[in-house]
Amino acid sequence: MIFMTTVLHLEAVSRRFGERQVLQDVTFDVVAGRMTGFVGANGAGKTTTMRIILGVLAADAGTVTWQGTPLTRAVRRGFGYMPEERGLYPKMTVRDQLIYLSRLHGLGPGTAKRNAEALIERLSLGERAGDPLENLSLGNQQRAQIAAALVHEPEVLVLDEPFSGLDPLAVDTVVAVLRERTARGVPVLFSSHQLDVVERLCDDLVIIAGGQIRAAGPRQHLRESYAQPRYTLHVDGDAGWLRDELGVSLVDLDGPRAVFDLAGDADDQTILRNALSRGPVRSFGPVTPSLAEIFREVTR
């Protein structure tokens, strides 16, 4: 049997503004049913990439396809987009604009209302749904923007910094709502510079720097492939003896706690045995690098 994966695929997308090459051969996939975190420093090219996906901006070269077909205006109408510059009507009530937006996307009045109410409820906007957007707190405006991207039941979601300005509880709520969409097979691409949030949320990761993709793929796979042979050791006494162990290069030593790299031919069990021969060992093991460490490594 042939399995067709539904993907949003970018192939060698390039774009320049004047003399400045802002995107260079950007290639990556956003797979159905998975949350893809798009991370990069300020000015790396995330917003430009998202604008090209949505057709707000044209690429100089390269293609974007959905399920193997180049994007047309009609296909993009089925996308949900939360732009960086946001873009709801400040003076319209949250409820009215959610209904209006889903009607604009061709939903019938009953479905539009039902979807709007469900998202208002889900994103805890009930008390404020009858207020003009501009009267809401920034966090609630942000929730309304997310509701606006979702209300027409999009096939693909592209969200520019959806978590910025949200408190941790709101982040969890929004994540739960997005997970419901991925569970239905919707691919979600979201940009963020909050690496801790991305680390917790994404299934796949795309790292961009200076307009070029530096790493892309399943988060766990990236973590493993960038894994340094790094260990932590926690003993009762002082761990300073590690300095003299063959193959050990200390990264951090704080009394009984140590972080160290191990040369390829050194044996971690030998280190553990040596530690045990000196007294109790409270913990010992390899550490997986954090996303922040991988990010620093690939964008160096």
Contacts with ligand ATP, residue ranges (CB under 6 A) = 17, 22, 40, 42-48, 84, 193
Could you tell me if 183 and 175 are in contact, meaning their C-beta atoms sit under 8 angstroms apart?
no
Which is nearer to ligand ATP, 32 or 189 (by Cβ)?
Answer: 189
Which is nearer to ligand ATP, 43 or 240 (by Cβ)?
Answer: 43
Rg (CA), the chain: 24
Residue 193 in 3-state DSSP? Answer: coil
3-class SS string, 234-280: EECCCCHHHHHCCCEEEEEEECCEEEEEECCCCCHHHHHHHHHHHCC
With a CB cutoff of 8 Å and minimum separation 6, the contacts of 61 are 12, 13, 14
Which is nearer to ligand ATP, 33 or 210 (by Cβ)?
Answer: 210
Instruction: State in angstroms the smallest separation of the CB of 100 from ligand ATP.
Output: 28
Q: Cβ-count burial of 102 within 10 angstroms (0-12 exposed, 13-18 middle, 19+ buried)? A: buried
Instruction: State in angstroms the smallest separation of the CB of 57 from ligand ATP.
Output: 8
Which is nearer to ligand ATP, 40 or 107 (by Cβ)?
Answer: 40
Instruction: State in angstroms the smallest separation of the CB of 148 from ligand ATP.
Output: 20
Nearest to 207 by CA among 41, 51, 65: 41
Which is nearer to ligand ATP, 45 or 187 (by Cβ)?
Answer: 45
Instruction: State in angstroms the smallest separation of the CB of 210 from ligand ATP.
Output: 9
Which is nearer to ligand ATP, 22 or 125 (by Cβ)?
Answer: 22
Nearest to 259 by CA among 271, 274, 267, 270: 271
The count of C-alpha atoms lying within 13 angstroms of the C-alpha of 28, restricted to the half-sphere facing its C-beta, is 27
Length of the chain as a residue count: 300
Instruction: State in angstroms the smallest separation of the CB of 208 from ligand ATP.
Output: 7
Residue 142 in 3-state DSSP? Answer: helix
d(CA 137, CA 224): 41
Nearest to 164 by CA among 180, 179, 143: 143
Instruction: State in angstroms the smallest separation of the CB of 272 from ligand ATP.
Output: 43
Instruction: State in angstroms the smallest separation of the CB of 61 from ligand ATP.
Output: 16
Which is nearer to ligand ATP, 129 or 216 (by Cβ)?
Answer: 216
Which is nearer to ligand ATP, 155 or 160 (by Cβ)?
Answer: 160
Could you tell me if 91 and 98 are in contact, meaning their C-beta atoms sit under 8 angstroms apart?
no
Instruction: State in angstroms the smallest separation of the CB of 187 from ligand ATP.
Output: 19
